[in-house]
Structure 1
Amino acid sequence: MFETEDSRWEAVRTRAKAADGHFWLGVTSTGIYCRPGCPARTPKRENVRYFPSPGAARAAGLRPCKRCKPDGEGLPARDSAMVQTICRMIEEAETPPSLADLAAQQALTPGHLSRLFKGQLGITPRQYADAVRDERLKTALQGEGRITDALYDAGFNAPSRAYESAGKRLGMTPGDAKAGGKGQVIRYAMATSWLGRTLVAATEKGLCAVQLGDDDDALVAALAQRFGKAQLEEAEPGSPYRQWIDDALAAIERPEEAASLPLDIQGTAFQEQVWQALRRIPAGQTVTYGELATAIGRPTATRAVAAACGANHIAVIIPCHRVIGKDGSLTGYRWGKERKAKLLKAEKP
């Protein structure tokens, strides 16, 4: 939802309140930025630019609209605190609480709670609960106990549910996960891009790694170290894996094509939240770590957001290079500040 320019423009044209919090629009003819649901006169489409956060709009030299107060002024302060409270409730529950139970505890209707939660975090309470449970499962599977015990400890009511979730979220069965990825096959290919030697790898779910470097052996060794006991194979020409890999290499040249690529992210719940937010930052725009933390509803988690950016193994496709320091500095980058500077320069409109 609201990932394409057409869908965003439709939200602006219809003043869709549901789009508030998903993106902000700047009007170049007036020099202001607004919420999509702003009651002001609809601007001409050619004068509209889209931003992932108010901070990004301010960095572009725009000022906030006095009617819709896009920085949050005038909104109930309890909303943000309520969402954070719900997150803590989900994280502390032994099994995922139902939407109805969460809503009742906050004296809201389930629909209102779901819209509020998704408006701030971009995902539903159920999706957040699923991610928390999957993260618990990953941790539990690293222990010495039985797989069945790990499934129940993570909050699954039945092994069948866990195996279904693991296939979708972990990219492997719980047994394979406990064995360090043993039995999982990862296909990869090497190529030369304008950023240097590039390794792209994929599981049966989608891309799991895009690594940049100067030495092929070092890149393959890093992939092998990350996936432990998984079997690494070179992708065969004409296979679906090779097509994904070729599409990823093309997206390095044309960043606007990255959003459509299937990914097998394999991160924690918090990391996935950060990485999904990164994918919503348009090419040519940057945000600070603080702005990114605010965008996911965790304004005090700046350091954790920075750590999640540093843990990103899918370069360019998950564009952590678009996050800069509060003072405008490039800060760190897994594949070198020089590559980060090249990427930002290439993406400038």
Structure 2
Amino acid sequence: MTLAARPAFDRALWESDCWARLEQRQADADRAFVYGVVSTGIYCRPGCPSRLPRRENVRFFADAAAARRAGFRACLRCDPDGASRAEREAALVAKAVALIESAEGRPAFDAIARSCGMSRHHFHRMFKAATSMTPGSYFAAIKKRRALDSLGQGESVTTAIAAAGYGSPSRFYEGVADLGARPRALSRGGAGEHIRFTVAACSLGFVLVAATQKGICAIELGDGADALAADFRRRFARACLAEDAAFSQAVADVVTLVEEPSRAFALPLDVRGTVFQEKIWRLLREIPPGETMTYGELAAKAGCPSAVRAVARACASNAIAVAIPCHRVVGKGGTLTGYRWGVERKAALLKREGR
């Protein structure tokens, strides 16, 4: 096997790209390089707020250590040796998320902003850029999750609504209109809900397909039919489970999709998640068969380039395999990172799509 020769590093091209990114003050360039200014002897981040120097006075370095070896000293304004702006903002967002999640009742967003050393407007903008949600929307998603968790544990609807922090039942019902299952039914393990499910064999092992009256709510892959079925029955212990000819056809369509993941899938889906998760799942369905996207690229497409981990968690929370193609998201350099139903299945699906 003959390996292709690695292309030679073109420093002039690299420096031209660095200068273009410096001119645009691209925040994501802070990790890519630093630049030194000959006239001052100082090196800075690309996002430094100082005045743009003349091009002939600029030298580019891959990292701060290289700039120091060349005799430059660190800028006191942008602190290129410390955490980048993106890293500092990520830490502040993590702090804000912890405060929001631990608040009893509605969080005091002004106080949270002050604890992060920001105005409410700046805090709101930073939080949305990182999570693709406003602080208020994030808190609404937390309330919804808390209420659904309580319902799933058998709490009454009234108790779950009060414990989650809803001011009135109407607010709760507005927030969960897309559940596919009624809240009271969820509080009784799916009691009263008609959920059809079955397990079928496929070339990747076994596939469980489940559907509510709204559409397919789960496509799960596994090694054993009994284990898949047992887990589903545990989650919907009191649901009315049924099989009919129409659903058998839907299962056949899902098995065909597993065998040929590049085929169009026209069956309706009953998607359940937070606002952020559902946004990521919609974007996943826009990735064409045979193509892949990194978690970073998906985060950027969602409008939150710094929320790579949140995007990865949203992919991992997807319960509808193949139809919502989270298998098309890969790590840097095309590496096959974790997959809810096994990396081997992820590789097989991508191979079937011609990648």
- Quickly name the TM-score band, shorter chain normalised: 0.5 to 0.7
In the alignment, the residues of structure 2 paired with residue 244 and residue 97 of structure 1 have an alpha-carbon distance, to the nearest angstrom, of 44
The reply on whether 1:129 has 2:136 as its aligned counterpart is no
Instruction: Show the counterpart of 1:91.
Output: 101
Structure 1 residue 275 displacement after superposition: 5.6
Choose 137-146 or 269-278, whichever is displaced more. Answer: 269-278
In the alignment, the residues of structure 1 paired with residue 278 and residue 210 of structure 2 have an alpha-carbon distance, to the nearest angstrom, of 18
Question: Structure 1 234/143 Cα, relative in aligned 2: closer, same or farther at 3 Å?
Answer: closer
Structure 1 residue 194 displacement after superposition: 6.1
The reply on whether 1:233 has 2:190 as its aligned counterpart is no
Letter in 2 for 1:185: H
Letter in 2 for 1:107: S
In the alignment, the residues of structure 1 paired with residue 148 and residue 120 of structure 2 have an alpha-carbon distance, to the nearest angstrom, of 33
In the alignment, the residues of structure 2 paired with residue 209 and residue 102 of structure 1 have an alpha-carbon distance, to the nearest angstrom, of 38
In the alignment, the residues of structure 1 paired with residue 281 and residue 110 of structure 2 have an alpha-carbon distance, to the nearest angstrom, of 28
Which is higher, the Rg of structure 1 or of structure 2? 2
The reply on whether 1:148 has 2:155 as its aligned counterpart is no
Letter in 2 for 1:344: L
In the alignment, the residues of structure 1 paired with residue 286 and residue 96 of structure 2 have an alpha-carbon distance, to the nearest angstrom, of 24
Letter in 1 for 2:167: N
Instruction: Show the counterpart of 1:318.
Output: 324
Question: Structure 1 197/81 Cα, relative in aligned 2: closer, same or farther at 3 Å?
Answer: closer
**107, 124, 140: which one aligns with 2:119:** 107
The reply on whether 1:138 has 2:148 as its aligned counterpart is yes
Letter in 1 for 2:236: F
2:28 match: secondary structure: coil
Letter in 2 for 1:285: T
In the alignment, the residues of structure 1 paired with residue 158 and residue 216 of structure 2 have an alpha-carbon distance, to the nearest angstrom, of 29
1:175 match: secondary structure: helix
Choose 176-185 or 124-133, whichever is displaced more. Answer: 124-133
Contact (CA 8 Å) 2:208, 2:219: kept in 1 or not? yes
Report 1:269-348 matches (<5 A). Answer: 283=289, 284-287=291-294, 297=306, 305=312, 312-324=318-330, 330=336, 332-348=338-354
Contact (CA 8 Å) 2:294, 2:334: kept in 1 or not? no
Contact (CA 8 Å) 1:274, 1:296: kept in 2 or not? no
**161, 175, 185: which one aligns with 1:165:** 175
- Contiguous gaps of at least 5 residues in structure 1: 1-31, 33-61
The reply on whether 1:201 has 2:201 as its aligned counterpart is no
Question: Structure 1 82/276 Cα, relative in aligned 2: closer, same or farther at 3 Å?
Answer: farther
Question: Structure 1 128/114 Cα, relative in aligned 2: closer, same or farther at 3 Å?
Answer: same
2:178 match: secondary structure: helix
Contact (CA 8 Å) 2:199, 2:228: kept in 1 or not? no
CA RMSD of superposed structures (Å): 4.9
Contact (CA 8 Å) 1:91, 1:132: kept in 2 or not? yes
Instruction: Show the counterpart of 1:178.
Output: 187
In the alignment, the residues of structure 1 paired with residue 255 and residue 123 of structure 2 have an alpha-carbon distance, to the nearest angstrom, of 40
Question: Structure 1 348/124 Cα, relative in aligned 2: closer, same or farther at 3 Å?
Answer: farther
Question: Structure 1 325/104 Cα, relative in aligned 2: closer, same or farther at 3 Å?
Answer: closer
Letter in 2 for 1:187: R
Structure 1 residue 90 displacement after superposition: 2.7
Letter in 1 for 2:183: P
Instruction: Show the counterpart of 1:211.
Output: 220
TM superposition score normalised by structure 1: 0.58
Q: How many residues align?
A: 280
Contact (CA 8 Å) 2:130, 2:307: kept in 1 or not? no
Letter in 1 for 2:211: A
Residues 26-58 of structure 1 deviation map (CA, whole Å, 9 limit, x = unaligned): xxxxxx9xxxxxxxxxxxxxxxxxxxxxxxxxx
Structure 1 residue 154 displacement after superposition: 0.4
1:71 match: secondary structure: helix
Structure 1 residue 329 displacement after superposition: 5.5
Instruction: Show the counterpart of 2:196.
Output: 187
Contact (CA 8 Å) 2:261, 2:322: kept in 1 or not? no
In the alignment, the residues of structure 2 paired with residue 118 and residue 211 of structure 1 have an alpha-carbon distance, to the nearest angstrom, of 32
Residues 248-270 of structure 1 deviation map (CA, whole Å, 9 limit, x = unaligned): 6676545585699644235x788
In the alignment, the residues of structure 2 paired with residue 264 and residue 218 of structure 1 have an alpha-carbon distance, to the nearest angstrom, of 23
Choose 189-198 or 334-343, whichever is displaced more. Answer: 189-198
1:95 match: secondary structure: coil
Select the structure with the greater relative contact order (CA < 8 A; seq sep ≥ 6). 1
Question: Structure 1 248/296 Cα, relative in aligned 2: closer, same or farther at 3 Å?
Answer: farther
In the alignment, the residues of structure 2 paired with residue 82 and residue 148 of structure 1 have an alpha-carbon distance, to the nearest angstrom, of 35
In the alignment, the residues of structure 1 paired with residue 185 and residue 19 of structure 2 have an alpha-carbon distance, to the nearest angstrom, of 51
Letter in 2 for 1:182: A
